[in-house]
Amino acid sequence: MTERGDRLLHSLPTIYRAADQSGQLRALLAAFEEILLESGDPKAPGIAQQIDAMPALLAPLGLDAEGHAHARTPDRFLPWLAQWVAFEPYRLFSADRLRTIIAGIVPLYGRRGTRQYLKALVRLCFDGVDEIRIDENPVHGFTIGLARLGEDSILVREAPFRFRIEVVIREEASDATHEPWQALEQRVRAVVDFAKPAHTAYELVLTRGTPNAKEAATS
């Protein structure tokens, strides 16, 4: 059985190992071995153990490049990692959902500012998204058969830098079933605010389950 201090002692030249008849050198090296290599205390790991644990801090789903399972990012580290990948609405998501978002958001950044990016991010952030429709030229003004009196029946034909996004979430999805409507709407708006181009405004229509479900107001 290997004694504490043997790992460092065996790395020394033979002359030093042979001279340590009393075990004093081994005892001295045991203290360094506990600090540098393996402490034996999970709450105060050695420096080498801390270094070995670093890859897990960057693995929110606990998978390496080859798909092998290993330790994953601790929950307490997820907010920092979310900020590291510039996902600002991280406070509105559970730890499990945040792991999925962090793991999938980086490949999307090459499409930021596009409708494809917005759609992909909404699907990444929420379960059960059935359909997403984005209209970059929404109908505005007094259009017979389409205008709603007192709501959008204004005498204007164009609204530059404005778009309309409709998000349909299946009724059986976990978000739709267990989450209050206002909380779900708040999270969807936070994601759209984060993903949209800074100079644009939008109208959000959020539907749960069927066309007769409650809809969100214009932002």
Q: CATH top-level class for 113-219?
A: alpha beta
173 contacts 213 by C-beta, under 8 angstroms: no
Token pair belonging to 165: 């996004």
Q: CA dist 53 to 6, 71, 74, 101, 214, Å?
A: 24, 8, 11, 22, 47
Residue 1 has pLDDT above 50, yes or no: no
What mean pLDDT is predicted for residues 205-214?
66
Residue 132 has pLDDT above 50, yes or no: yes
Q: How far apart are CA 90 and CA 130, in angstroms?
A: 23
pLDDT in tens, 160-173: 788 999 999 887 65
Q: Where are the domains of the chain?
A: 6-52, 113-219
Q: What is the DSSP letter of 126?
A: S
Task: Give the pLDDT of residue 218.
Answer: 44
Determine whether 178 is exposed, middle or buried from the number of CB atoms within 10 Å of its CB (0-12, 13-18, 19+). exposed
How many CB atoms sit inside 10 A of residue 152's CB? Answer: 17
Lowest mean pLDDT among 37-41, 67-71, 194-198, 212-216: 212-216
Residue 27 has pLDDT above 90, yes or no: no
Determine whether 130 is exposed, middle or buried from the number of CB atoms within 10 Å of its CB (0-12, 13-18, 19+). middle
Task: Give the pLDDT of residue 52.
Answer: 74
Q: Which helix (H) or strand (E) holds 188?
A: helix 181-195
Q: What's the gap between Cα 164 and its chain centre?
A: 25
**Nearest in space to 59 (alpha carbons), one of 95, 102, 108:** 102
Residue 196 has pLDDT above 50, yes or no: yes
Q: What is the mean pLDDT of the chain?
A: 78
CA atoms within 13 A of residue 28's CA, in its CB half-sphere: 8
Residue 65 has pLDDT above 60, yes or no: no
What mean pLDDT is predicted for residues 62-83?
76
Task: Give the pLDDT of residue 210.
Answer: 56
Residue 198 has pLDDT above 70, yes or no: yes
Determine whether 106 is exposed, middle or buried from the number of CB atoms within 10 Å of its CB (0-12, 13-18, 19+). exposed
Confidence band (pLDDT; 50, 70, 90) for 38? confident
Higher-confidence residue: 185 or 26?
Answer: 185
